[in-house]
Amino acid sequence: MSTLVFLEHHGGAIQKGSLGVLARALAVGGDVAGVVVGHGVAEVAASAGAFGVATVYTVDGPDFEAPLPQPRVDALEAVAAASGAENILFAASVLSADIAAGLAARLDAGLNWDVTDIAIDGGKLTARRPALGDTVLVTVGWTSTPRIALVRSGSFEPVETGGTAAVHDVAVTPREFSTAARMVDQAHEEASGPSIEDADVIVAGGRGLGTPEGFRLAEELAAALGGAVAATRAVVDAGWYPYSTQVGQTGKSVSPKLYIALGISGAIQHKVGMQSSGTIVAINKDANAPIFDFADFGVVGDLNAVAPKLADLVRARKG
Amino acid sequence: MKIAVCVKQVPDTGPARKLDPVTNRLDRSGEGALNATDVNAVEEALRIKEAHGGEVVVVSFGPTRALDSLRKALAMGADRAVLISDEAAAGSDLVATSYALAKGLERESADLVLFGQQASDSDGAVLWAAVAERLRRPLVSQVAGLEIDGASVTGKRQTEFGYDVISAPLPAVVAVSDAINEPRYPSLKGIMGAKSKPTETLSLADIGAEADRVGASGSRTTVLELAPPPAKGDQIKIEDDGSAAEQLVEWLAGRKLL
Ligand SMILES: Cc1cc2nc3c(=O)[nH]c(=O)nc-3n(C[C@H](O)[C@H](O)[C@@H](O)COP(=O)(O)OP(=O)(O)OC[C@H]3O[C@@H](n4cnc5c(N)ncnc54)[C@H](O)[C@@H]3O)c2cc1C
Ligand SMILES: Cc1cc2nc3c(=O)[nH]c(=O)nc-3n(C[C@H](O)[C@H](O)[C@H](O)COP(=O)(O)OP(=O)(O)OC[C@H]3O[C@@H](n4cnc5c(N)ncnc54)[C@H](O)[C@@H]3O)c2cc1C
């Protein structure tokens, strides 16, 4: 069985999520190769050797410089053909999801997403994945090859083994429509804020805070508890709170002792960034909000009533 | 400008969603609703139409009853609805869905094809990329801010590293995030008017799709087994009757979290 792992890189480093998937693929067995796409990436590709992979394919050139998905579909189609890969694995990211789905359509190949583990069953790849807000665990398979999987963030840790990788370049000319979209401004980090990764207590705010000013409630509660303030993508995208405070799949992964979610629905992409918190408290007015499925203490109610009272009581107790 | 908005009917959110243990497919027998983040895509389409003129058509691939959910988009202001529906289509995965939807979209040849953020039943957030590939059109996904002129679209989108700005010539495929706008509520007039707006239900044959590329036979993924998730620890959930803050503080203090 041969498996190709897409190694996403940024700023000269292969991403942790990709290296985690690589480690799992190597542990499961068969022939495993990596693939790195970009411009001037031979060195990045070779660096994967330290994580135990002996072969890394590259597709290298100016058309592949910007981290856009469509040229990478062309690149992976070519590498899949050159390597005869039966399985193609991606660590979920904004970029990888679009590549994986584009490739699935290009090759008429099955894509299973939200995969949290892989195994070999009767010589074939199978995968496990939670679904419907993690209320059911599903074993999934593919009816043809290549089998494509998107692995949920944080599922596997990288394993550094030492070693070197042979790098094979595959020449690819992207299709015309693949290069029609252009990167105008790349990875511009907006208004940085305080670090939330080391905080013992996090008060996170979502769209339920109502307005950017609503974040004052979160800030007051955080101040009372001696904690930091975090946010969901919905409010970061809306410009209510800085990008650096975002928790979730595209933001930070945090594991404070206490995580208090104010007006957050509990989308899977938020959950993956905070589910390892010691204790999770949620205040949400919708009794059906998914966040209550994984909160240790849930309050169904209006945060505008509960949060200020909570801050007062905490302050009073701390004297 | 002609804008096609892809929308999906999903089971109404709530705790009752489950997979059917016989078919291993999602149980869609309960109430259906227009997928929440698709409403943002409809809203964005209406704003573009208001600024640039043109037509907004909602396109969906799903069971015939999905038409009920499409009416909400019409009530918001979309001009007409197209539903691709066929007995043979049940159980379509991404490969099959993108094929059928792209066939339906080809028939419309819109300048702009819009998608929402993610279907709440599958949490896929991928369909746009497969459809853009099948249509051979440029893609800008996860867009939280969209600018449009007669010839191109420019979208701002978040990644793991900050914000990208991506530009693409029309015709293009764009997927929006749930933060891009505050969708309007349908007015009473809109709701009444929706009843007389044109809707079309098309079979696979109508859109020139090969039946064996759709449904279970056109799908490449399969569900092998269902299992309950790992057991959760003790959970407390209370309704605020004015004393929730007190109860929570006591509980936190008891766990030495203050
Ligand atoms: C619990 C569950 C898990 C699934 N997992 C997989 C899987 O791992 N692999 C797989 O191949 N299939 C899977 N499917 C099937 C998959 O949902 C459908 O094949 C399909 O519609 C693909 O898109 P999506 O629903 O994931 O949409 P997403 O990619 O989440 O939706 C993005 C946007 O696409 C538009 N859209 C979505 N569906 C339609 C539609 N039918 N018609 C028009 N526009 C639409 C909407 O604008 C939506 O906001 C799963 C389904 C369920 C219920
Ligand atoms: C590829 C991808 C990556 C993503 N990455 C991330 C990520 O890194 N982080 C992230 O957070 N999201 C991420 N998302 C987005 C995610 O899917 C959700 O859209 C987002 O988390 C929703 O944010 P929210 O909970 O603030 O808003 P909503 O989902 O709108 O929830 C608001 C909640 O507030 C409640 N509420 C409203 N008013 C009150 C009140 N007065 N009192 C109490 N409760 C109230 C409502 O009941 C609701 O549950 C990603 C999505 C995709 C597709």
How far away is chain A from the Cα of B198, in angstroms, using its nearest Cα? 31
- Range(s) of the domain holding residue A247: 201-318
- Mapped to the 3 state alphabet, what secondary structure does chain A carry? CEEEEECCEECCEECHHHHHHHHHHHHHCCEEEEEEEECCCHHHHHHHHHHCCCEEEEEECHHHCCCCHHHHHHHHHHHHHHHCCCEEEEECCHHHHHHHHHHHHHHCCCEEEEECEEEEECCEEEEEEEECCCCEEEEEEECCCCEEEEECCCCCCCCCCCCCCEEEECCCCCCCHHHCCEEEEEEECCCCCCCCCCCCEEEEECHHHCCHHHHHHHHHHHHHHCCEEEECHHHHHCCCCCHHHEECCCCECCCCCEEEEECCCCCHHHHCCCCCCCEEEEEECCCCCHHHHCCCEEEECCHHHHHHHHHHHHHHHHC
Give the per-residue pLDDT at A200: 96
How far is A213 from A223, CA to CA, in rounded Å? Answer: 16
How far is B144 from B157, CA to CA, in rounded Å? Answer: 6
Domains of chain B: 2-218 (3.40.50.620)
Atom nearest to A132 CA in ligand 1: 1
**Which pLDDT band holds residue B19 (cuts at 50, 70, 90)?**
confident
How far is A303 from B249, CA to CA, in rounded Å? Answer: 15
Task: Answer whether residue B228 shows pLDDT above 90.
Answer: no
For B:111-150, CB contacts with A below 8 A are: 121-134, 136-142, 144
How far is A231 from B158, CA to CA, in rounded Å? Answer: 14
Residue that terminates a domain, selected from A145, A179, A213: A179
Give the per-residue pLDDT at A125: 97
Task: Answer whether residue B192 shows pLDDT above 80.
Answer: yes
State the pairing for strand pair A87-91/A279-284. Answer: unpaired
Q: Name the token pair of A227.
A: 């904690």
Give the per-residue pLDDT at B238: 97
**Which pLDDT band holds residue B150 (cuts at 50, 70, 90)?**
confident
Give the per-residue pLDDT at A194: 66
Asked if residue A188 belongs to a domain, the reply is no
Task: Answer whether residue B213 shows pLDDT above 80.
Answer: yes
Q: Name the token pair of A84.
A: 């005869």
Give the per-residue pLDDT at B14: 60
Number of domains in chain A: 2
Same domain? For A130 and A270 the reply is no
- Cβ contacts of B254 within 8 Å, gap of 6 or more: none
The stretch B45-51 carries a mean pLDDT of: 97
Give the per-residue pLDDT at B212: 95
- Cβ contacts of B243 within 8 Å, gap of 6 or more: none
Asked if residue A191 belongs to a domain, the reply is no
Residue from B39, B34, B78 nearest B57 by CA: B78
Give the per-residue pLDDT at A225: 96
Residue A250 sits in a domain of what CATH number? 3.40.50.1220
C-beta of residue B116 within 8 angstroms of C-beta of residue B176: yes
Asked if residue A243 belongs to a domain, the reply is yes
* ipTM topping 0.85: yes
Same domain? For A69 and A118 the reply is yes
Give the per-residue pLDDT at A3: 98
B97 lines ligand 1 (CB under 6 A): yes
Task: Answer whether residue B13 shows pLDDT above 80.
Answer: no
For B:198-227, CB contacts with A below 8 A are: 219-227
C-beta of residue B129 within 8 angstroms of C-beta of residue B142: no
Give the per-residue pLDDT at B45: 98
Chain A contact for B244, CB < 8 A? yes
Find the closest chain A residue to B156 by CA distance. A185
Same domain? For A175 and A228 the reply is no
B37 lines ligand 1 (CB under 6 A): yes
Give the per-residue pLDDT at A245: 95
Give the per-residue pLDDT at A43: 98
Asked if residue A56 belongs to a domain, the reply is yes
C-beta of residue A146 within 8 angstroms of C-beta of residue A103: no
Atom nearest to B37 CA in ligand 2: 19
Contacts of A136 in chain B (CB under 8 A): 18-19, 226-229
Same domain? For A49 and A162 the reply is yes
Residue that terminates a domain, selected from A179, A213, A229: A179
Please count the CA atoms within 13 angstroms of the CA of A189 that sit on its side-chain side: 10
Task: Answer whether residue B17 shows pLDDT above 80.
Answer: no
Asked if residue A80 belongs to a domain, the reply is yes
Contacts of A182 in chain B (CB under 8 A): 166-168
Contacts of A299 in chain B (CB under 8 A): 237-238, 240, 244, 248
Find the closest chain A residue to B13 by CA distance. A288
B58 lines ligand 1 (CB under 6 A): no
How far is B149 from B152, CA to CA, in rounded Å? Answer: 6
Give the per-residue pLDDT at A222: 97
Residue A13 sits in a domain of what CATH number? 3.40.50.620
Chain A contact for B162, CB < 8 A? yes
Same domain? For A220 and A156 the reply is no
Give the 3-state secondary structure of residue B133: helix
Please count the CA atoms within 13 angstroms of the CA of B9 that sit on its side-chain side: 25
Find the closest chain B residue to A225 by CA distance. B258
Same domain? For A72 and A213 the reply is no
The stretch B211-220 carries a mean pLDDT of: 96
In the chain, the amino acid numbered A83 is S
Same domain? For A210 and A109 the reply is no
Which residue's C-alpha comes closest to atom 25 of ligand 2? Answer: A264
| Contact check, Cβ <8 Å, A184/B138 | no
pLDDT along chain A (319 residues), means of 10: 96 97 97 98 98 98 98 98 97 98 98 97 94 93 98 96 97 98 87 78 98 97 96 96 95 97 97 97 96 96 98 93
Asked if residue A196 belongs to a domain, the reply is no
Asked if residue A195 belongs to a domain, the reply is no
Residue from B111, B94, B29, B14 nearest B63 by CA: B29
Q: How far is the CA of B94 from the centre of ligand 1 (A)?
A: 6
The DSSP symbol for B170 reads S
Atom nearest to A264 CA in ligand 2: 25
Asked if residue A192 belongs to a domain, the reply is no
Residue that terminates a domain, selected from A179, A210, A243: A179
Same domain? For A35 and A101 the reply is yes
Same domain? For A241 and A140 the reply is no
Same domain? For A174 and A124 the reply is yes
Atom nearest to B219 CA in ligand 1: 11
Q: Pick A317's closest partner by Cβ from B123, B179, B249.
A: B249
Give the 3-state secondary structure of residue B180: coil
Same domain? For A108 and A167 the reply is yes
Q: Pick B239's closest partner by Cβ from A177, A301, A310.
A: A301
Query: What integer best gives the mean pLDDT of chain B?
Result: 95
Same domain? For A254 and A129 the reply is no
B85 lines ligand 1 (CB under 6 A): no
Strand partners, B32: B11
Task: Answer whether residue B15 shows pLDDT above 60.
Answer: no
CB atoms under 10 Å from CB of B212, counted, come to 12
| Contact check, Cβ <8 Å, B235/A109 | no
Tell whether the torsion through CA atoms of B10, B177, A19 and A32 is positive or negative.
positive
